[in-house]
Structure 1
Amino acid sequence: MENIADQTYIVENVVEFSPQEHTLYSKVNGNKVTLLASASECFLCLLENHGELVTKKELIHIGWEQYNLHVSDSTFNQNIFTLRKAFKDCGLNHEIIRTIPRKGLMVSKTININLLIIKNELVDYMPVCKDSKEVDHTSPTKSQKYSKFIYRITAKLQLNIFIIILIITCASGIVNGIYFTLPTSYLSNYRTILEGDNCHVKIDILRSALIDYKKFISSYNLHCKNSEYIYFSTYQYVPRISVFRCNHEFREHHRNDCVSWYFLDKKI
């Protein structure tokens, strides 16, 4: 194929997977889930090896090591878990990614995978298969190689930008005495769940519950005092916690003295 502009994998004729955008889109319920770049890279590798076992070592190299990143077993497993959950949110409740104990992962041959290729305003719709007699993929054209090169460069750039943003966010957590004002709309979903004992705790009610906060403080030694205000929020799909501890309650056009934390490993 020449002049390939985009590729989309169709899983079980229900979910569209875009490796370029790192997204899953359900044609059944309309849900669109954005994946972590590492999880997207791992799933693309499984699709490129459809019906074959891919070792955990290979997936770790694809998702992290080729970018000089280290990943723990728990983080790797969490990425696979969120990937499976994303498929359920898109309406596929049966097993798409199969675990082979102590060996690796695979997308079984019984899972229907099709590849949608868009080129020059024309769409070719064909099943993903190996050693096909009708379509010869063994000799990629220069355009295919160039397209794959551009995709890899784009994926690396997106991952690097994500890492830079993550570092900046974490660094802000160790800076004490920063004065800033947040817009009222940012905190419109926060509600007070605890008051008294020199402490005011507010949580994002769209993301978190009181039990989340109680489990959090049982795992981390982070308590407020002197009538401080705690703003607490968890995140959907990813193990992240955001905490602001401030001397005063947030009000529009008023400065506040706060310390922020961004926890990467959620223990709740």
Structure 2
Amino acid sequence: MLHLLLALSFLVTLPASAATDPKALIDQYHRDHPGKGKYADHWQPIPIQRYWNPKDFYQPPRTVQGEVGRDQGVTPGFVRAWRDSTHARLDRIRTLPDSDVRAYKKQLLAEVEANLVRQGLLKPGKHLEQVSCIDCHGGIGKNTIRHDQDLRMPDRAVCGTCHVQQFAEAESEKEQTWPQGQWPKGHPSHAVDWKANVETAVWAAMTEREIAQGCDQCHYQQNKCDGCHTRHSFSAAEARRPEACATCHNGVDHNEYENYLLSKHGTVYQTHKHQWNFEAPL
């Protein structure tokens, strides 16, 4: 068991090389992406799939009324979540005392800024003040965009522009293999779960697309990052809780969450979680 835990720890903390090229990583992600898959001729996306796979299906709105607004009066939940997030309060991270359990985030923020400097998206010596709506939905560092042309729904590659190490780690799941070939390379994993969806004949053949897209509600992690830490707070503490995993890993088809809760590990979690600080580094 100790050897297994050490191996898992290595996988979790595996750093991306300082020489990792974000552009090369993003380009490879786009090349590997299956899009509509090998059964593309047999199905057409419905509107909700613009969210599940924005890379292929999202279209900027032609009118203000069609926009996913960030206005307090239109989408107050989005605004409140962002205001309470680390993205909105980067200076608070910089001023944390070293005794604070979240102080490790200062180094992570410095790494993000270094990534952006290398990509020419941030001037050397300049600090990010916040990550605002336009950075994710328009372009990092932009002041204005044309909503009918430039507005985007962020995908994994957008997140990976700043979070290069995390993006590289997530994409590395595609390299996993099974000792006896029980699964194809990379399967099963978040990094290829959309591919597993669109290249399943039964899914592609379903005429009631609103039912078929029920699978997409979980099989979209290959496309986006908010399945584990919900937009627009993107909380690492949330993603560390098993309840976040339960969004998908539950029920008769894949009852990992229930199995976990009924295991000794789950018992320990349920009886002691109120004493744990999920903001602490892993």
Q: Considering the TM-score relative to the shorter chain, is it more than 0.5?
A: no
- Bigger fraction of residues in strand: 1
Give the TM-score, by structure 1 length: 0.20
Give the TM-score, by structure 2 length: 0.19
- Bigger fraction of residues in helix: 2
